[in-house]
Structure 1
Amino acid sequence: MLINNEFNEQKIQSPLQYIWSIFKSKNITVIAMWAVFFLIIVSIFADSILPYSHTLQHPEMRLLPPYWVDGASVNHILGTDDLGRDTLSRLLKGMQLTLLGALLITFSISILGLIIGATASLMKGVKASIMHHFLDALLTIPTLLTAIILIILFGVSYENSLLAVSLSLLPQFIRGIYICIENELNKQHVIALRLDGATNLRLLRYGIFPNIIEPLTTLLNRVFTMAILEITTLGFLGFGANSEQVELGYLISKSLELVYLSPYLALFPGIAIFLIIIVFNIFSEGIRHSVIEGEE
């Protein structure tokens, strides 16, 4: 963790600086990082960069292919659907709702999950036993089934689908945090902090959280990936977005009946889902491996 400057003086890097130096030494992870930033920025400003409104219809230009296929139009780079709506505009809008929705779910789950998981891990006696068995019971139900049941109760809409997915994934994250903290509580440095009279907040801040960054990164990546898949699955099944709030799963669902006439309508949203997941997974794995190498 020593670096030399122009005066040949040695300076000690902070843990974050050392992890960053490891991270940026791997080209593929840096590329994935910039790709993540690009996808997020495009999603945030999608409404400003849409070539056309995602609901605007051009009846005279229905089912146009992408621009590299014969019979295409340069005004619609990725073609149009059966109502003449611009495919690129609808794809960007779908990426916005899917990606930002998954990020919102991941952020809310991380906050709630850390609070509940940390509280549960520090409980003792009957309270801890009740929390432990309650989480085990929730984990026996598949998350997608839980999300479908919840969205039926809440009502079908894009906003309710995000809420349903959040509640269905929350128990898994809480359980993961609970196990991570429980494993740390028996280590010598945490026991030393306890004997030194550290409060629970100080114990978590200085003794536990800095040592669970690696499993926490894995948990967050898993939640994000499952959020993407569940949002798109609910949209595909008709439990999520509607014609006004197009989402990648919804786009695939509505394109299946036209797959023989214009397979691109289903292909582009599928590629978008694949790219989002693979880019974020590479980025997350880069962070995780950098943390592991930094601790060695």
Structure 2
Amino acid sequence: MLINNEFNEDKIQSPLQYIWAIFKSKNIAVVAMWFIIVLVLASLFAPWFFPHSPLEQNADKMLLPPYWFEGGDINHILGTDDLGRDSLSRLFHGLQLTLGGALIITVCVSLLGMAIGASAALTKGIKASVLHHLLDALLTIPSLLSALILIAIFGPSYINCLIAISLSLLPQFIRGSFLAIEQELSKQYIVALQLDGATKLRLFRFGIMPNILEPTITIINRLFTLAVIEIATLGFLGFGAQLPQTELGSLIASSVDLIYLSPWLVTFPGITIFLVIMMANVFAEGLRHAVIEGEE
């Protein structure tokens, strides 16, 4: 018996489902997303995957090359350092601190920065004016210099490094969200919601936030990229993760003297930083275009 589907209704997708459907059609962005997910999972569960501890020294296996070179050992896929420690284990341990720290900074700064930026944009008067000029003054100082000044005050450590970078990047996010929301406030549908008696919270949640997704994604992506670079930079300079902690920037710094003897000790952490930043930008760009197409 034939089934008549003439009167079946099509399921209407929510805005997020529609954006996700558009994003899935962008193959490169999807590959970048899965690459980042795999890196996050690998760095989280590295102690269970890799048989070697990042601190385990072996005097009989110092400066082994990667296993595909002559003299390499399959038990040490990326070779060993000058103390016989497994390079792959140290690489993923370093990735755990660099990538994990950047994600923590991004989430914390995004939430706090959006709250402050929204409250400043939705508030008129002397409070908004003071915050506006204060942000202009803070943004004249480069974020890395601000982080270095704060590290000098707090003292070098991985936790202090994250705090310093968060505080140095916070004004940038506040300023970016402030400008995006302020630009949206001048549009007619926002004025109509205000005349309809919408509270500031309802105005932000249902009127402003859905329409500033595209600039917000750009700001968050820039925040994450800067966080990765600054964590690695402070680690390289010796102001970030301290021994026995291992971070990608400190891995490069500890191997600079061996660059001619064992160039892979510097190359692999550098390539990892490059891939994390590149894939994050590809993913964010694909998501941004999906949002733009979804709004059209």
What range is the shorter-chain TM-score in?
over 0.9
In structure 1, give the amino acid aligned to 2:65: P
Contact 1:80–1:87 (8 Å) recurs in 2? yes
Matched, 1:38 2:38: yes
Distance 1:290 1:89, change over 3 A: same
Listed as ranges, the gaps of 5+ residues in structure 1 are none
Matched residue of 2:11: which SS? strand
Q: What residue is the counterpart of 1:105 in the other structure? A: 105
In structure 1, give the amino acid aligned to 2:264: Y
Matched, 1:17 2:17: yes
In structure 1, give the amino acid aligned to 2:265: L
Q: What residue is the counterpart of 1:207 in the other structure? A: 207
Q: Report the Cα offset of residue 273 of structure 1.
A: 0.3
TM-score in terms of structure 2 length: 0.96
Q: What residue is the counterpart of 2:276 in the other structure? A: 276
Q: What residue is the counterpart of 1:197 in the other structure? A: 197
In structure 1, give the amino acid aligned to 2:96: Q
Q: Report the Cα offset of residue 16 of structure 1.
A: 1.1
Q: What residue is the counterpart of 1:28 in the other structure? A: 28
In structure 1, give the amino acid aligned to 2:22: I
In 1, Cα distance between the equivalents of 2:66 and 2:185? 57
In 1, Cα distance between the equivalents of 2:8 and 2:129? 57
Q: Report the Cα offset of residue 7 of structure 1.
A: 7.5
In 1, Cα distance between the equivalents of 2:197 and 2:104? 37
Deviations 1:1-49 (A, max 9, x none): xxxx998643322111111111111111111111121111112212222
In 2, Cα distance between the equivalents of 1:6 and 1:278? 48
TM-score in terms of structure 1 length: 0.96
In 1, Cα distance between the equivalents of 2:57 and 2:13? 57
In 1, Cα distance between the equivalents of 2:233 and 2:136? 25
Q: Report the Cα offset of residue 50 of structure 1.
A: 2.8
Q: What residue is the counterpart of 2:74 in the other structure? A: 74
Listed as ranges, the gaps of 5+ residues in structure 2 are none
In structure 1, give the amino acid aligned to 2:137: A
Matched residue of 1:10: which SS? coil
In 1, Cα distance between the equivalents of 2:94 and 2:142? 26
Q: State the Cα RMSD in Å.
A: 1.3
In 2, Cα distance between the equivalents of 1:172 and 1:271? 27
In 2, Cα distance between the equivalents of 1:292 and 1:130? 34
In 2, Cα distance between the equivalents of 1:174 and 1:56? 44
Q: What residue is the counterpart of 1:57 in the other structure? A: 57
Deviations 1:86-114 (A, max 9, x none): 10010010000000000000000011001
Which one is further off, 30-39 or 213-222?
30-39
Deviations 1:203-247 (A, max 9, x none): 000110000001000000000000000000000001001221100
Matched, 1:159 2:159: yes
Contact 1:50–1:92 (8 Å) recurs in 2? no
Contact 1:235–1:250 (8 Å) recurs in 2? yes
In 1, Cα distance between the equivalents of 2:154 and 2:58? 35
Contact 1:106–1:223 (8 Å) recurs in 2? yes
Which one is further off, 8-17 or 49-58?
8-17
Q: What residue is the counterpart of 1:180 in the other structure? A: 180
**What is the aligned-residue identity percentage?**
64
Q: Report the Cα offset of residue 56 of structure 1.
A: 0.6
In 1, Cα distance between the equivalents of 2:275 and 2:262? 21
Q: What residue is the counterpart of 2:291 in the other structure? A: 291
Q: Report the Cα offset of residue 51 of structure 1.
A: 2.6
